[in-house]
Amino acid sequence: MAPAVNPLVAAVEAPPIAEAWSWVEGVTFPADRPLIDVAQALPGYAPAASLVDHLAEVVRTPGIGGYTAIAGLPDLRAAYAGHLASSYGGDITAGDVLISAGCNQAYYLTMTTLARAGDSVILPSPWYFNHKMTLDMLGIEARPLICRAEHGLVPDVAEAEALIDHSTRAIVLVTPNNPTGAIYPPATIAAFADLARRHGIALVVDETYRDFLPVAGAVPHGLFADTNWRETLVQLTSFSKVYCLAGYRVGAVVAGRALLDEMAKVMDCLAICAPQVGQRAALYGISHLADWREEKRQLMGQRLAAFKGALATRNTGFEIASIGAYFAFLRHPWDGEGSTEVARRLAREHGLLALPGAMFGPGQERHLRFAFANVDAAAMPAIADRLAGATGAARP
C-alpha cells in the first residue's frame, strides 16, 4: 500500500509552469516560426560579463561549498540594507535582513512564521499562484481581495478592511504586480500599511520587480521612513530577475529583528542557509552593477513600449487590462471560452506560450498573462501577428 499523502498538499494544483510546458510536448515548431515563450518570467539576456567572471573565481574559493550563517552572509545583509536605505530612506540595518533561497522561499518563511493552520491571509486577486499554493499547503485561508478593472487592478483599502477578522494575520501586496504588471501608487501602499498597523497584522510587500519601474530612481513607497516600520512591514525581494540569478536561488526578507529571529528557526529546518555562491553573486551585483541595473531597467521600458505599440498597430482582438515592469494582463476576445483552452490553443497552434488567467485565481477566465520582458523588443510584432492570426483578424 502506498503511503498516505498530506491532503492539504494533495489538494493543491500542479505547478502551473510545468503544466503550461506540457502543452507543447511533442510539438515541433518550424525554424522560421519558433515558439515564443512569454510564460515563466525569466530575463531574456545573459548576466553581466563581469559577474560571470567573478563567479568563476568565487567557485574556486576555499570553503565556498560550506554553510553561511542562517541569516546569510554578513556582508550581503549589510550591503542590501545599505542599498535599501539609500533608495527608500529610513533606518535599515544588516540585522533587519535575512537572506533566503529565492523570493518564493522568503514568502514561505514569512507565512510559516506569521500564521498557523486556521488563520487567514489576505491576497489581492488575481494572485501570484505560488503565494496561494503555499497558503493552501499550510492550511492557511487565502482571502481574495478582488482587484477591479475600474481601479487599474490596484487593490482597494476599504475592501481589504472588510475582510479582516480575528483570524487575519497579514495582508500581501505584490508591486509591480505579478501577474498584472500593475504598479501600486505610494499612497495606496501607505494606506495599506496604516490599515495593517491599526489591526495589528503584518503588511507583506513583495517587490521582486521593483528594479524595472518606468522612472529612474522612483521610490516605490515611503514605508521605511517611518521609524516604527518594523512593527508592521515585511519586505520580500528576489535577486533573480535583476541580476539574472534565477538558478542560483537568492532572495531576501526585510523585517523587524524579533520576527527574523523566529524566521531563522524555519530557515534552519528548511535549508539551513541560502546557497553561498548565489549570495556572493548578489553581493557582487549590489556592489558593482548599478550601471548595469539601470541599463536593464531602460531595456525593459523599451520592451514594454514595443509590446504596447505592436498591439496598438494590429487588430488582434486582445485588450491590455494592465501592463507594467514585466507583465501584461490581456483580455482575450472569446466569450464562453476558458483561459486555459485559449492559452493551450495559442501554444500548440500559434507557437505562443502564455499563462491562462485561471492559474491566478477565480474570475480570470477572460485573461492571459504575458511575461513580455522575456523576449527582445524585435519579437513584439511577431507576438501581435500570432494573436491576430489566432482571432482571424486581418493585419492593417
CATH number of the domain at 33, please.
3.90.1150.10
Buried b / exposed e over 127-153, threshold 16 CB at 10 Å, is bbbbbbbbbbbbebbbbbbebeeeeeb
What is the residue whose three cell numbers read 556582508?
75
Among candidate residues 239, 271, 289, the one where a domain is terminated: 289
The pLDDT of residue 217 is: 86
Consecutive 10-residue averages of pLDDT for the chain (396 residues) = 92 94 94 94 91 95 94 98 96 98 98 98 97 98 96 96 98 97 97 98 97 91 97 97 94 98 98 97 98 96 96 94 95 95 96 97 96 94 96 58
Are the C-beta atoms of 93 and 242 separated by less than 8 Å?
no
Same domain, 14 and 100: no
Are the C-beta atoms of 235 and 97 separated by less than 8 Å?
no
Same domain, 143 and 179: yes
1 lies in a domain?
A: no
Cell of 198: 491599526
Among candidate residues 238, 272, 289, the one where a domain is terminated: 289
Cβ-based neighbours of 180, under 8 Å, separated by 6 or more: 126, 147, 153, 321, 322, 324, 327, 329, 369
Task: Give the range of the structural domain holding residue 154, as residue numbers without chain letter.
Answer: 49-289
Among candidate residues 289, 320, 335, the one where a domain is terminated: 289
Same domain, 220 and 256: yes
Same domain, 22 and 128: no
Number of domains in the chain: 2
CATH of the domain at 232: 3.40.640.10
Same domain, 251 and 159: yes
Same domain, 21 and 79: no
- With vertex at residue 234, the alpha carbon angle to CA 229 and CA 240, rounded to the nearest 5 degrees, is 130
Are the C-beta atoms of 53 and 289 separated by less than 8 Å?
no
396 lies in a domain?
A: no
Same domain, 133 and 79: yes
Q: What is the distance between the alpha carbons of residues 327 and 105, in angstroms, rounded to a whole number?
A: 22
The pLDDT of residue 393 is: 61
Q: Closest Cα to residue 382, out of 67, 29, 94?
A: 29
Same domain, 182 and 231: yes
Q: Closest Cα to residue 281, out of 242, 254, 325, 255?
A: 242
159 lies in a domain?
A: yes
Same domain, 203 and 237: yes
User: 3-state SS of the chain: helix, strand, coil percent to 5?
Assistant: 45, 15, 40
Same domain, 231 and 128: yes
Same domain, 156 and 192: yes
316 lies in a domain?
A: yes
The pLDDT of residue 394 is: 38
Same domain, 112 and 159: yes
